Chain A
Amino acid sequence: MTTLTKTEDAPAPTGSDAFLSVRDLRVQFSTEDGAVKAVDGLSFDLERGKTLGIVGESGSGKSVTNLTVLGLHNPTTATIDGEIVLDGQELLTASESEMEKLRGNKMAMIFQDSLTALSPYYTVGRQISEPFRKHTGASKKEARDRAIEMLGKVGIPHPKQRVDDYPHQFSGGMRQRAMIAMSLVCNPELLIADEPTTALDVTVQAQILDLLKDLQQEFGSAIIMITHDLGVVANMADDILVMYAGRAVERGSTRQVLKTPEHPYTWGLLSSMPRLNSDVDEPLLPIPGSPPSLLNPPSGCPFHPRCAFTDKVTDGRCSGERPVLPVGRGAACHLTADQKQQVFIETIQPRLG
């Protein structure tokens, strides 16, 4: 490393066949107290038919990133830099009307809480058919048939009757299915699922995840799965991006990240997750401290105030120098590869059982 002062990540691999490519994305919100760097130099790629899991605590910038992809931030309060290319089209410079044509059509989003994300004032059918009519120019009748078809697809019994129901007449799981139907109505090639199952019962959770998988196979969509639940990503994702304080701190295939995590933060996440096969009296190990203020992020590695391994790094680099996320598989950490392996095997793995 010669560029010690460099604070950005190096560009991620420029996979030419990437369907979605995010480069050095920066999103800042101006508040009365100053600028909040919600996303600070994020890059990743996603291929068609693949699922990328984005993992992190609340406020790590996962949701902001995805709303930015959809172009849903208010341009007057958010400053956005970088590059987002979807199937060869630059999104950040696209006009609002171009974005409107893409949203709900080529790319769609599943929101976390269907109770708030569906309007209580319109029937489920109407809310599903609306984007279909808009993007395909279908007639009311066609759109309604499509809505019924979609409701059936996501597993809602008697879709013909339920299509005229209002969201509050659906159970939580049904409603989430309806919302998925709404997102998929135009066969989107990119589906962003923002904690799609957090608000649901565990059993329903599994059904919904299965449904998403099935649908992905059918439509061939790329999925970004935002979650703080590693279990969900383990189940769904091909690749994982771990975010902390608006930056990617670890990247790799799901297997790599879950089996041989390299970043102390990822270790923390894994250790703090309960396991079915662990002893009852074995304590969970939460990550000490709290997520950093994005208004005034820590110097150097943003995780260093909470990191248990800074003493292994010399010259105070943890607090003085921002670690770089390497291209491809890797983590943004000053620990050497050997140190990482040693710490993981000696301290972390036993905890994970």
Chain B
Amino acid sequence: MLRFLIRRVSGAALILLLISAFTFFMYFAIPQDPATLACGKNCTPDALAIIHKNLGLDDPVPLQYWHYLSGIFAGRDFGVGHCDAPCFGVSFRNNQMVWDTIMDRLPLTLSLTFGGLVVFLFVGLGAGLMAARYRGTWLDKIFSGGSLVLSSFQIYFLGPIVLGIFVYSTGWLDKPKYVPITQDPGGWFMGLLIPWIVMATIFTANYTRMSRSSMIEQLQEEHVRAAKAKGMSSRYVFYRYAWRGSVIPIITILGMDIGALLSGGMVTELTFGLAGFGRLARDSVILKDLPVLMGVMIISAAFIIICNIVVDAMYAVVDPRVRLS
């Protein structure tokens, strides 16, 4: 286990380094001077030079990258003050520490992701299990048919409809907004209810279908039949024997989904006017705000890599045949 961790974490560090270098150098490969974006009406070549200097863009790119990297481990000094490690730099746009901005945006994204996750895992897996258990019955038909329809929906389609009905027209629910859970758990819950439901609806559909088909596949396994032949009740066999095997493909997809949601819950955030990590990512790209862009890329990549490691570890937990090494 320890060896596994060491190996994977060092691999992850290497990947992150590559990603950061790639992002950094690609950014400067774009034939566009980031300083021009800060340069408005008085954008004479001289004014441009000042901004250039302010943003620290005068150094050679490799040196800038080195400053960036060393800042992550050792901190850096900026005009706005000292930036403690891990220092991801200071935004080109508003002089804020990138790390602080990211830390400010993450709670929303975490709430959104894991709140939605709870809903779509419970409902999705539950519905999938029921559909598999009562395969061929009307229940199965409703669940699998419904999930087929719902999974073809998109958040940016369903979101505005739900908002239109429950917020703008009837006013039954408030507009989605983020209140930290530490501040007001009720407000946190109510504020994110709509995004959770909409997000979960779409994901639920996928998980229903996946859990159903995976379960049906498992139910045809010989060991499931063997367990029945031992006299184990069909409930027991269903939940202990078949389910155990059916979660493996689900863990795989879930790992990918969580990574994607954490690093890019952009559509959900944009649909509901929420400011989380996804929106930060999008804004940094539009505004060509390199430090924020870098921070976002690295943190996103880290999420995806962590999810991958967790998924691999989960395999070992679920399936004793899998060895971590």
Identify the A interface with B (CB < 8 A): 67, 70, 72, 76, 96-97, 100-105, 108-109, 111, 113, 116-123, 127, 130-131, 134-135, 166, 168, 179, 182-183
Note all chain B residues with C-beta closer than 8 A to A127.
Answer: 227, 230
**Are the C-beta atoms of A118 and B231 separated by less than 8 Å?**
no
24 A-B pairs within 8 Å (CB atoms) are namely A67-B225, A72-B228, A97-B233, A100-B232, A104-B231, A104-B232, A105-B231, A109-B226, A111-B226, A111-B229, A117-B222, A118-B226, A119-B241, A120-B223, A120-B319, A121-B245, A123-B320, A127-B227, A130-B230, A131-B232, A166-B320, A166-B321, A179-B226, A182-B230
What separation, in Å, do the CA atoms of A127 and B228 have in the docked complex? 12
Identify the B interface with A (CB < 8 A): 136, 221-234, 240-241, 244-245, 318-321
What separation, in Å, do the CA atoms of A132 and B226 have in the docked complex? 15
**Are the C-beta atoms of A119 and B229 separated by less than 8 Å?**
no
B223, B230, B320: the one within 8 Å of A104 (CB): B230
What separation, in Å, do the CA atoms of A179 and B222 have in the docked complex? 13
**Are the C-beta atoms of B232 and A116 separated by less than 8 Å?**
no
Chain B residue at minimal CB-CB distance from A126: B240
**Are the C-beta atoms of A113 and B222 separated by less than 8 Å?**
yes
**Are the C-beta atoms of B231 and A100 separated by less than 8 Å?**
yes
**Are the C-beta atoms of B233 and A100 separated by less than 8 Å?**
yes
Chain A residue at minimal CB-CB distance from B228: A72
Note all chain A residues with C-beta closer than 8 A to B245.
Answer: 119-121
What separation, in Å, do the CA atoms of A111 and B227 have in the docked complex? 11
Given A117-B222, A121-B319, A109:B229 Cβ within 8 A: yes
**Are the C-beta atoms of A131 and B231 separated by less than 8 Å?**
yes
Q: How far is the CB of A66 from chain B (nearest CB, A)?
A: 10
**Are the C-beta atoms of B229 and A103 separated by less than 8 Å?**
yes
Note all chain A residues with C-beta closer than 8 A to B228.
Answer: 72, 103
A113, A122, A134, A179: the one within 8 Å of B231 (CB): A134
**Are the C-beta atoms of A120 and B321 separated by less than 8 Å?**
yes
Chain A residue at minimal CB-CB distance from B233: A100
**Are the C-beta atoms of B226 and A121 separated by less than 8 Å?**
no
What separation, in Å, do the CA atoms of A166 and B318 have in the docked complex? 13
**Are the C-beta atoms of A108 and B229 separated by less than 8 Å?**
yes
**Are the C-beta atoms of B222 and A103 separated by less than 8 Å?**
no
Q: How far is the CB of A282 from chain B (nearest CB, A)?
A: 38
What separation, in Å, do the CA atoms of A105 and B231 have in the docked complex? 7
B231, B234, B241, B319: the one within 8 Å of A101 (CB): B231
What separation, in Å, do the CA atoms of A307 and B215 have in the docked complex? 44
Chain B residue at minimal CB-CB distance from A112: B222
**Are the C-beta atoms of B230 and A131 separated by less than 8 Å?**
yes
What separation, in Å, do the CA atoms of A72 and B241 have in the docked complex? 16
Note all chain B residues with C-beta closer than 8 A to A97.
Answer: 233
Note all chain B residues with C-beta closer than 8 A to A101.
Answer: 231
Note all chain B residues with C-beta closer than 8 A to A108.
Answer: 229-230
What separation, in Å, do the CA atoms of A102 and B222 have in the docked complex? 20
**Are the C-beta atoms of B231 and A121 separated by less than 8 Å?**
no
A-B pairs, top 6 by smallest CB distance, nearest first, are A104-B231, A104-B230, A103-B231, A116-B222, A131-B230, A117-B226
